[in-house]
Structure 1
Amino acid sequence: MVQLTVLHWIYFIMVLVILSVMIMRKDTIIPCILGVFLLGFAAKKTMLGATKAVFDALIVAGTELLGIIVVISCIVAMSKLLEEIGANRWMVMPFKRFIKTPDIAFWFIGIVMLLVSWFFWPSPATALVGAVLLPVALRVGLPAMGVAMAMNLFGHGIALSTDFVIQGAPTITATAAGVPVESVMIKGISLFFIMGLVTVVTAYGMLRRDMKKGKLEKSTMEDFFMEEGKETRKIAKFAAILVPCAFLLDIVAMFLFELRGGDATSLIGGTATLLMLVISIVEFQGDALDKITKYVREGFMFGMEIFGPILPIAAFFYMGEVAPIQAVLGEGVLPSGSQGILSDMGMALASIAPMNRPVAAAIEMTVGAITGLDGSGFSGMSLAGSMAKVFGTAVNGSIPVLAALGQIGAIWVGGGTIVPWGLIPAAAICGVLPMDLARRNFIPVATGLVVTTIAAIFFI
């Protein structure tokens, strides 16, 4: 086991401080920046080095998030154009016959998001599903927050934690655990089902309760979609057909060329930008040069408004991984053999606990969740798989079940359902604050994690 250093303890203490601030429903930017400063001071031993580390950490976080920032900004810029010409109302008409109530909207969007995410991963799926179905949901009275919850829990939660089609997550976990990939998926299916069902039903129940009490405010986007009398341009029908067809071709291209993750996101972002270009030229002709500047500006202003407060938060939590902390503080900042601060802390926790099935399940879930705090659920799955092999052997239990449990903990926390720096895509496309979405998801996801851990004790 790697010897824990002062960096590990500073990081651990600041995580507790940040979680305490979140529980008090306050923003966490100040403790996050302070955490980076303290890490920098501990590593560099000078005020100059600590001050420089704060800025460098922001740059690293910005680099990590740049792709998501740009694709969301491009989608929003295109949406602004579609709003102005009135194409959005034509686009939602085919879905009116299916989505007539907020309840149907929540489950319809969630299931569509689940299916699309299985094939193309949640980030590109969020842009696709949100661009088309968000207006429909708002029309029937589902708040933007409800749409964000549905897309987030079904996509970054259920789809990413199961990953039955692409099999990236179970492959990483199973390889580290030394078991076949299919065993993690088959033997873990009961846990996947319990986690998804408990979380989504809890979230839906709390959403319906707050809607009845009037606690959820209507978004400004919703006001626009309710304006039936707004002028519709002649090109609106053409654009309403062109945009869905273009994104449908994107889906075909993803299948044919096996585009996943970042490649799929790039295709969607490029498609949105080109659509905006073509529609602007056809509609505004000579004025297109000036008009398109307006939409691009509005799109990126929206993107930075949403992402700006997240950068300092992400800057701190990214420091829990090897590459980011080395980029900020230097190559030799971590001890030899370290897998990153979060992974080291997880292994330290595992080494001091007595072993039986309840303890093994609790630690497997806890360590998976801890490694997910950096907002990247995949970063901790190798550790979760390795620990599943150790724990499963120690208690004479099922290694695949334990591996699936660790995978659930890492993905549901780090994949982006309860940490604000991980659920930005759904929040941004729906126009809600990531911190607010994280708070609404916290109780349902925490409930699901606890119930799933208890259930795992009987399956191990």
Structure 2
Amino acid sequence: MEVDLTLIHWIYLVFIVLIIGAMVIKRDITLICLVGIFIMGWVATSSFITAIGGVFNSLVYAITQLLGTILVISVIVAMSHVLTKTGINDVMIRPFTKLIRTPSLAFWVIGLVMMIVSWFFWPSPAVALLGVVLLPVALRVGLPALGVAIAMNLFGHGIALSGDYVIQGAPKLTADAAGIPVGDVLSASIPLVIVMGVVTVFTAFFLLFRDIRKGKLRVTENELDHSLQTEAEKERFNMSEQSKMVFAVLIPILLILDVVGMIVFHLQGGDATALVGGTVIFILMAISLAAHKQKGLEKITSYLIEGFQFGFKVFGPVIPIAAFFYMGDAGFTSVFGKVLPAHSAGIVNDLGNALAHSMPLNKEVAASTLTVVGAITGLDGSGFSGISLAGSIAHLFAAAIGSGIATLTALGQIAAIWVGGGALVPWALIPVAAICNVDAFELARRNLLPVVIGLIVTTIVAMFLI
């Protein structure tokens, strides 16, 4: 049933346009989102006091929705710190270093290992876990540091993060904004992530090794010296090799059992996140006690604090932005009460229905628009701060064309993550660039053509899946 649009609907739409405009000119959008919530609340309730309180309550609502994701990422980062400092990560990765015998093998082995580890640890911690171990090995067989950075970047911050199938942080944000279950986004993203990953990685591989064959790229003495220095500076604790080996075997087994449990018991969203988070916390406690002996109790708290600092640093900018886009669905009623028209299905749903009745819209236009919107949201270098917008726009367009909400949501998510999550925007590439000692802008330039080609092909594929 079509609902007549109210002033609240138009205000929401105006602020979406303002948000997109601010992203295009690379300005922060937090203030715009918070002002938008305030104005909508004021108009809806006619109460200045309620509107002011609504801004705070909208943040509480957003944090409530995102808290599980924030916490699981925090504890995973905490665990990655203790793995690095104890050297357990070296033992875990050592079998893969034996496979690295040529530059080509180095590229694919590093990339695939990075992808798998990033599914469980997230890419930023995975870079620290893997980079200092695999970089020297790759350099010795002739893969330049830039090639290592490209492999880690595209497989980790690209393929693994854009799907985010284990931790489910990205699909949680987009699914909530689109008003659909997380499982729908996960399922719809599988073919798109595969297409995007295959096209982008093979294009990057071809261009990289073309330049290596021509002699434009090679391993330098400075790169070898830097990798050896980095290895020498790594902090170590007095933990026996036998203990390291036990944990190196136990950790992958436990995490794989988590995945099996998700499949067998059909766990998704918050349930899947809780399973991974609980497992990681127990691993963190066990390693801390084994590594630090008498000081283990205090070190557990120390590692958790480091993890929480990382988690809230990453999601701090996301919370007010997500709060605004939650207002487009159930969040508005939760914060301000039942102030929308009687038959309203939510602000975004109402706008989508109005769009469907006012102008022709097809799946080609919808898919192209979602890719562009997703890419724009990634321009701030976060990859996460704007994906709620992608979910909201997907909801809007799907309501207009009558299908494809999950595919459109996944497409917007993939575009946002590949552009802003750490594959194109230079300041998002700093973790990988720092570990590999390469220039972030040069890495972004190398990734540009493969990622653009990948997005074009993925968008075309999405048109057939809607």
> What is the correspondence of 1:346-361 to structure 2 with a 5 Å cutoff?
346-354=352-360, 359-361=362-364
State the match for 2:436 in structure 1: none
Partners of 1:283 and 1:116 in 2: CA distance: 22
Q: 1:45 to 1:98 in 2, by over 3 A?
A: farther
1:155-166 map, 5 Å: 155=160, 157=162
Aligned match of 1:412: 411
Give the drift of 1:24. Answer: 1.8
Counterpart for residue 362 of structure 1:
365
| Residues 1:40 and 2:41 aligned together | yes
- In structure 2, the partner of 1:342 is 348
Contact 1:370 1:410 in 2 (8 A): no
Letter in 1 for 2:331: P
Residue 56 of structure 1 and its aligned partner are, at CA, apart by: 0.7
Match of 1:295 among 280, 290, 303: 303
- The normalised TM-score by structure 2 is 0.66
- Report the CA distance between 1:103 and its aligned residue: 7.7
Structure 2: segments with no counterpart, 5+ residues = 139-144, 169-173, 212-216, 218-222, 378-385, 434-439
* Residue aligning to 1:393: none
Distance (Å, rounded) in 1 between the aligned partners of 2:229 and 2:70: 24
Structure-1 residue corresponding to 2:319 = 311
Q: Which residue of 1 aligns with 2:335?
A: 328
Q: Alpha-carbon deviation of 1:329?
A: 1.6
Give how far 1:12 is off: 1.6
Q: Corresponding residue for 1:254?
A: 259
Over the residues paired in the alignment, what is the CA RMSD in angstroms?
Answer: 5.0
Query: How far, CA to CA, are the matches of 1:385 and 1:44 in structure 2?
Result: 29
Q: Could you say which residue in structure 2 is the equivalent of 1:166?
A: none
How far apart are the structure 2 equivalents of 1:201 and 1:17?
37
* 2:74 alignment partner, SS class: helix
Deviation at 1:199, TM superposition (A): 5.4
Q: 1:27-66, aligned counterparts within 5 Å?
A: 27-66=28-67
- Aligned with 2:17: secondary structure? helix
Label 1:298 to 1:368 Cα distance change in 2 as closer, same or farther (>3 A).
closer
How far 1:67 sits from its partner (Å)?
Answer: 0.9
Name the CA shift for 1:287/1:116 in 2 (closer, same or farther; >3 Å): closer
Determine the C-alpha separation between the residues in 2 that align with 1:114 and 1:446: 20
Tell whether the 8 Å contact from 1:87 to 1:237 is kept in structure 2 after alignment: no
8 Å Cα contact 1:113/1:154 also seen in 2: no
User: Counterpart of 2:291?
Assistant: 283
Q: Deviations over 1:205-228 (max 9, x none)?
A: 99999xx8xxxxx9xxx9996445
After the TM superposition, which of the residue ranges 261-270 and 297-306 deviates more from structure 2? 261-270
Corresponding residue number in structure 2 for 1:268: 276
Amino acid across the alignment from 1:409: L
Q: Which moved more, 1:272-281 or 1:412-421?
A: 412-421
Per the alignment, residue 215 of structure 1 pairs with none
CA separation of 1:299 and 1:17: change in aligned 2, threshold 3 A: same
| Structure 1: gaps spanning 5 or more residues | 164-168, 213-217, 391-401
Q: How many aligned residue pairs are there?
A: 399
For residue 55 of structure 1, report the CA deviation from its aligned partner: 0.6
Go from structure 1 to structure 2 and tell me whether the alpha carbon gap of 1:280 and 1:344 turns closer, same or farther (over 3 Å shift).
same
| 1:208-247 alignment, distance < 5 Å | 226-227=231-232, 230-235=235-240, 238-247=243-252
Does residue 88 of the first structure (1) align with residue 89 of the second (2)? yes
**Aligned pairs for 1:89-238 within 5 A:** 89-98=90-99, 108=109, 111=112, 133=130, 136=133, 141=145, 147=152, 149-155=154-160, 157=162, 195-198=196-199, 226-227=231-232, 230-235=235-240, 238=243
- Structure 1 contact 2–338 (Cα < 8 Å) conserved: yes
Q: Equivalents in 2 of 1:5, 1:204: separation in Å?
A: 52
1:343–1:192 CA distance, 2 compared to 1 (3 A) = farther
Distance 2:230 2:101 in 1: 15
Q: Structure 1 length as normaliser, TM-score?
A: 0.67
- Amino-acid identity (%): 34
The corresponding residue for 1:7 is 8
